[in-house]
Chains A and B, each alone.
Chain A
Amino acid sequence: MRIPRTFGQYVAVESPVHSLDAKTKMGLVAAYTVALFTVERFAGLGAAGIVVIGAVVLAQVPWRLALRGIKAVSVILAFTLFAHALRWNPATVSLVRFGPLAVDGEGLRTGLFFAARIVLLVVGTSLLTLTTTPVQLTDGLERLMRPFARFGFPAGDVAMMLSVALRFIPTTAEEADKIILAQMARGARFDEGGLLRRAKAYVPVLIPLFVNLFRRAEELAVAMESRCYHGGPGRTRLDPACMRGRDWTVLSCGAALLVALGVLL
């Protein structure tokens, strides 16, 4: 059970898309998602497709990675397609028939439409995580959540929790590796038996891992308090992520384009 060290799927290249502020990209992804769900014609999806292809090319992300997300939803895609296209003993005219099973022309069209929508959604949204580091994402989220602080929502604390969680992923992975080796040295086997047995073999790994995590958390709290963490307002940032002129231009033009796309097509 090796947890991947390079967390997330960030592709480290310098591109116009990478240099945009995380909040700009989040806004565009939101507008894009809304547009995808309001278009009613294939022409609309086609236009959205062109937008995505353009964005991937601009972001200089390898196609292999940009399309990787589709694999994860392949079952859903197949189900969407078949659920719409297949009919059992239909009375109407069908495209193809295999005994009682028939492929319905209208259904196939709808199925393809929905499947294409899912593909575009996955590729478009994964572009956000491909071009934005987890830290930039958390910072962006904190800024977006800040208005809710007025209603007592602990935006700063939530952002700090996310960022501490990110920081401790590699440390925890290293620790898990160490415990696995220690248990293997005592004769534990992680590679035999069925799925259930293999899953059970990890219980003696998870328990010490969790105990250690709690111990770590306690010491981390001491360290954070010693360095004056109070979770309240008034925290400054070394590297405040801010929206520049370019961000506002891209965000407003992009959002306008996507709204037009959703309304017109």
Chain B
Amino acid sequence: MIEFQNVSYTYSGADVPALVDISLRLAPGEIVVLVGANGSGKSTLARLCNGLLVPSEGTVTVNGMSTIDPERVFDVRSRVGLVLQNPDNQIVGTVVEEDVAFGPENLGVATADLRIRVDDALAVVSLTGMERREPHLLSEGQKQRLAIAGALAMGPDYIVFDESTAMLDPPGRADVLAVMQRLRSAGHGILHITHHLDDAAHADRIVALDAGSIAFDGQVEEFFEQNERLSDLGLELPPLAAAAAYLRNAGLVVPAAVADARGLVEALWPS
């Protein structure tokens, strides 16, 4: 469990806190989508999860370990993987397998185990066979999956995706979302930070940030029902949810959050 308890964070030199009184939980095996406008504190929250930043007030614990404890820094970071937006800026190795091995190498994992971890991580993100490929020769989607493999090889319980689908084309994005589903089934807890509310369709829960505070934490369905609030939060309903909202206003009974167009059609005309 990643647990935020009344966490506030102020960057040094800033007058206004970036995050105010955040209390939040991420359990293994769930996908939580975190949304909010630019500057609402999403990335700050991501960096608090693995102790890159430590709270100014309150506590963040990962499996019971406080991120402030200097002796548990590497324990915390190996439990919580972080995948960033631009895949180019997080790939360290000169070839694919070297990059995947970077995290466990830092942890001092023995060479024989390293090979197993690298092979397993590449298999999860479907990059098997590309071990010796140079990263700049991969597509953006493949690069992002490589970054996920790099986080996975550390053997984390949780992975935080900080707008990791923002720079990808639709197929690349679909691949990364599919990997998230696979990770959830394998029992990983996923925190997916995004601008796109359509990414929420696959989530178990949605958390919305507004100017550093939690404005909503609950079911996706429930969140979409309050569509008048969304524009205040700097968000926009995805087209499908917007269509559902119009239908509901017209008195039809359809779910507020549907995964795809077929779901909407079936709600209207059950076969």
Residues of A within 8 A of B (CB): 134-135, 163-164, 166-167, 170-171, 174, 216, 219-220, 222-230, 234-240
Selected interface stretch from B101-109, B190-198, B239-247: B101-109
Considering only CB atoms, which chain A residue lies closest to B98 in the complex? A238
- B90 near A236 (CB under 8 angstroms)? no
- A240 near B111 (CB under 8 angstroms)? yes
Top 4 nearest A-B pairs (CB, nearest first) are A223-B90, A238-B101, A227-B103, A219-B89
- B102 near A227 (CB under 8 angstroms)? yes
Enumerate 11 A-B pairs (CB-CB under 8 Å) in ascending A order: A135-B94, A164-B92, A170-B134, A219-B89, A222-B47, A224-B102, A227-B77, A227-B106, A235-B106, A237-B111, A238-B111
CA distance A115 to B118 in the complex (A): 51
Residues of B within 8 A of A (CB): 47, 50, 52, 74, 77-78, 81-82, 84, 86, 88-95, 97-98, 101-111, 114-115, 118, 134-136, 147, 150-151, 154
CA distance A66 to B136 in the complex (A): 28
Contacts of B115 in A (CB 8 A): 238
In the complex, which of the residues B114, B135, B150 contacts A236, with contact meaning CB atoms closer than 8 Å? B114
A-B contact count (CB 8 A): 92
DSSP class of B's interface residues: helix, strand, loop or mixed? helix
A235-B106, A237-B105 given; A223·B111 CB < 8 A: no
CA distance A219 to B90 in the complex (A): 7
Considering only CB atoms, which chain B residue lies closest to A225 in the complex? B52
- B154 near A228 (CB under 8 angstroms)? yes
Contacts of A224 in B (CB 8 A): 92, 102
CA distance A240 to B135 in the complex (A): 21
CA distance A224 to B105 in the complex (A): 12
Give A166 Cβ to nearest chain B Cβ, in Å. Answer: 6
CA distance A220 to B93 in the complex (A): 12
Contacts of A240 in B (CB 8 A): 111
- A228 near B103 (CB under 8 angstroms)? yes
DSSP class of A's interface residues: helix, strand, loop or mixed? helix
Contacts of B74 in A (CB 8 A): 228, 230
Contacts of A237 in B (CB 8 A): 101, 105, 111, 114
Interface centre among B97, B103, B147, B154 (most CB of A within 10 A): B103
- A220 near B90 (CB under 8 angstroms)? yes
- B107 near A228 (CB under 8 angstroms)? yes
Give A10 Cβ to nearest chain B Cβ, in Å. Answer: 12
- Sample of 14 further A-B pairs with CB below 8 A, known A171-B88, A235-B106: A171-B136, A219-B89, A222-B52, A222-B82, A222-B90, A223-B84, A223-B90, A223-B92, A227-B81, A228-B77, A236-B105, A237-B105, A238-B101, A238-B105
- B94 near A236 (CB under 8 angstroms)? no
Considering only CB atoms, which chain A residue lies closest to B99 in the complex? A167
Give A159 Cβ to nearest chain B Cβ, in Å. Answer: 12
In the complex, which of the residues B77, B86, B136 contacts A226, with contact meaning CB atoms closer than 8 Å? B77
- B114 near A226 (CB under 8 angstroms)? no
Considering only CB atoms, which chain B residue lies closest to A223 in the complex? B90
Contacts of A135 in B (CB 8 A): 94-95, 98
CA distance A130 to B97 in the complex (A): 24
Give B261 Cβ to nearest chain A Cβ, in Å. Answer: 36
Give B48 Cβ to nearest chain A Cβ, in Å. Answer: 12
- B134 near A238 (CB under 8 angstroms)? no
- A238 near B106 (CB under 8 angstroms)? no
Considering only CB atoms, which chain A residue lies closest to B88 in the complex? A171
- B84 near A222 (CB under 8 angstroms)? yes
Considering only CB atoms, which chain A residue lies closest to B131 in the complex? A238
Contacts of B118 in A (CB 8 A): 238
Contacts of B103 in A (CB 8 A): 227-228
CA distance A181 to B182 in the complex (A): 40
- B105 near A235 (CB under 8 angstroms)? yes
CA distance A234 to B105 in the complex (A): 8
Contacts of A163 in B (CB 8 A): 94
Contacts of A234 in B (CB 8 A): 108
- B92 near A170 (CB under 8 angstroms)? no
In the complex, which of the residues B95, B109, B154 contacts A227, with contact meaning CB atoms closer than 8 Å? B154
Contacts of B154 in A (CB 8 A): 227-228
Interface centre among B95, B105, B151 (most CB of A within 10 A): B105
Contacts of B77 in A (CB 8 A): 225-228
A167-B94, A236-B111 given; A228·B78 CB < 8 A: yes
CA distance A218 to B111 in the complex (A): 30
